Structure 1
Amino acid sequence: MSNNEDKFDLMIISDCVLDIYYRVRELPIKAGDVAVSDIIALSPGGACTTAIVARKLGLKVAVIDRVGGDPFSDILIKYLNDVGVHTGFIKRVRGFVTISNNIIGADDHAFMGYLGVGKELTIDDINENIIRNSRAVFINGFYASFTRDIIKVFAEVIRIARKYSVPIFLDTGPSINNIDLMINLIKSVSTVFMNEKEMRRLFGDINGLANTTRGTDVIAVVKLGSKGAALVHNGVIHQCQPYNVSNAVTTIGAGDTFDAAYMAGIMHGLSPMNSCDLGNRIAALRIQYLTPIELHNLEGLITW
């Protein structure tokens, strides 16, 4: 990279997907049921929700991932380009982008997805100079539950980032398989994000998380939904208070939004606790819209 124009505040790696939103009268939908959605919407999802929100919070953001040669991938990349996320490091390969069908019911939501070419990301898709010239790296660990090979890629990215003292943020993803390998990754990053279910799968409870990360430099952030969040560092647990929302449209993407806001707070010089508060505040805004695309630019909200 030859000049400052090529440097990014945040390099996002893996799980850039296309979300399709539907809304039905009730869940679950059982065999033989006929359910008709009254809306349909498309939006970048997963780590690309994080990318979009981080961009709206003023960070210069790029994505490294694999997407397909399909029309859905064209739509995904256009959405990212339109909000100013750099897509030049996304590799187009034969196949399909990962699709997440998000089905919103009256009180909850469900997912039906297709794992596309993103699960085949390799270390050859990662340029060491890109990592070196980034202010921070964010890894979305979604695929780590489905393939051990990508965990090796994540471990190599972490090794490169540590070599150049680049802070590393990791979201564990669902953590339904490969628990031991994910815990090893967690111990080697700067900050790790997870929700309450993921925390219980990995550590049993928050005390297990605190004990596992005690004596390390890792900051663990547990997203607790309507209960706010918990920040765990060196065995000490701090609570981050929630923001109440009376007009929630959907909670889909709230966790990805929290990740973006927390990282933006840290990179704008806020403390971890203030960044945690910012994460809750921006996530509360996110759930008032159907998709993250509808959020306005948010940089002015980073004030302390």
Structure 2
Amino acid sequence: MSNNEDKFDLMIISDCVLDIYYRVRELPIKAGDVAVSDIIALSPGGACTTAIVARKLGLKVAVIDRVGDDPFSDILIKYLNDVGVHTGFIKRVRGFVTISNNIIDADDHAFMGYLGVGKELTINDINENIIRNSRAVFINGFYASFTRDIIKVFAEVIRIARKYSVPIFLDTGPSISNTDLMINLLKSVSTVFINEKEMRRLFGDINGLANTTRGTDVIAVVKLGSNGAALVHNGVIHQCQPYNVSNAATTIGAGDTFNAAYMAGIMHGLSPMNSCDLGNKIAALRIQYLTPIELHNLEGLITW
């Protein structure tokens, strides 16, 4: 890489999928039920929600991942290209699909996904120069719950980023297994994103998180849904107030959106507290739409 066009504000690594949204009258759907969706919508999901929102917030964004060679992946890449996310580092792998089904009703949602080829991401898919020429790196840790091998890839990405003093943001993902490796991993990043359920699985409570990250200089951002968020840094806990929403279409992708807005805030020079506020503001805006691609340009919402 030798010119400015090859440099990115944010390099996003792992867990890009195509989301298909269905809206049904009531969840759960049981065996023998006949459920008919009154709408269907397609949108990039997972870390690619983060990519899209970060792009709409004015960052130059690229994605590193593996996806299938199926029509769903074609649509995923087209959506990313259409909003200006660079997809040239995404590897297409024959014989796989890349999809998640999101089923929502008026009050809740459920996922039915497929662990595709993204879980087989290797360090050979990541060029050191790509990391070196990025202003920041974001790692989505979803697959870390399902394979220990990808945690080794994440650790190597972190090593490279630290070598070149590139800030590293990590979302822990569901944290349903391999928790020992994830705890070790998050101690070496700049900022970790985690929701309340994930925090309890890894640390028991917010005090356990504060004790674990004390002395590491890691900023932990705990996403608390309708209760806003909390910043944990060197044992001190600060609360970020939520934005109330009365017309939510779905909460799917709110956390991914928060991640994007928080990172955009930091990269535009906002403080962690102001970036946390921005994360809550943009997440509240996102959940008023069925999919993140419906959001308009958001750069004007970043204020100092």
Any idea what the Cα deviations from partners look like across 1:121-171, whole Å, max 9, x if unmatched? Answer: 000000000000000000000000000000000000000000000000000
Deviation at 1:95, TM superposition (A): 2.4
8 Å CA contact retained: 2:121, 2:153: yes
What is the root-mean-square deviation of aligned Cα atoms in Å? 0.5
- d(CA) in 2 for partners of 1:276, 1:116: 32
Deviation at 1:97, TM superposition (A): 3.5
Task: Provide structure 2 residue ranges, at least 5 long, that are not aligned to the other structure.
Answer: none
What's the secondary structure of 2:11's corresponding residue? strand
What's the secondary structure of 2:261's corresponding residue? helix
Deviation at 1:105, TM superposition (A): 1.4
- d(CA) in 2 for partners of 1:86, 1:43: 16
8 Å CA contact retained: 1:17, 1:97: no
Deviation at 1:96, TM superposition (A): 2.2
Deviation at 1:100, TM superposition (A): 1.1
8 Å CA contact retained: 1:73, 1:96: no
- d(CA) in 2 for partners of 1:56, 1:280: 16
Deviation at 1:106, TM superposition (A): 1.9
Task: Provide structure 1 residue ranges, at least 5 long, that are not aligned to the other structure.
Answer: none
Any idea what the Cα deviations from partners look like across 1:109-129, whole Å, max 9, x if unmatched? Answer: 000111111111000000000
Residue 172 of structure 1 corresponds to 172
- d(CA) in 2 for partners of 1:73, 1:98: 6
**TM-score under structure 1 normalisation?**
0.99
Deviation at 1:256, TM superposition (A): 0.1
- d(CA) in 2 for partners of 1:95, 1:286: 33
Deviation at 1:98, TM superposition (A): 2.8
What's the secondary structure of 2:135's corresponding residue? strand
8 Å CA contact retained: 1:20, 1:41: yes
Q: Which structure 1 residue ranges, 4+ long, deviate > 6 Å from structure 2?
A: none
Aligned residues: percent identity? 96
Residue 140 of structure 2 corresponds to 140
- d(CA) in 2 for partners of 1:161, 1:98: 27
**TM-score under structure 2 normalisation?**
0.99
Deviation at 1:99, TM superposition (A): 1.4
Any idea what the Cα deviations from partners look like across 1:50-86, whole Å, max 9, x if unmatched? Answer: 0000000000000000011111110000000000000
Any idea what the Cα deviations from partners look like across 1:18-46, whole Å, max 9, x if unmatched? Answer: 10000001111111111000000000000
Deviation at 1:270, TM superposition (A): 0.1
Any idea what the Cα deviations from partners look like across 1:230-262, whole Å, max 9, x if unmatched? Answer: 000000000000000010000000000000000
8 Å CA contact retained: 2:265, 2:278: yes
8 Å CA contact retained: 1:66, 1:118: yes
Deviation at 1:2, TM superposition (A): 1.1
Mean CA deviation greater in 105-114 or 259-268: 105-114
8 Å CA contact retained: 1:95, 1:117: no
8 Å CA contact retained: 1:18, 1:97: no
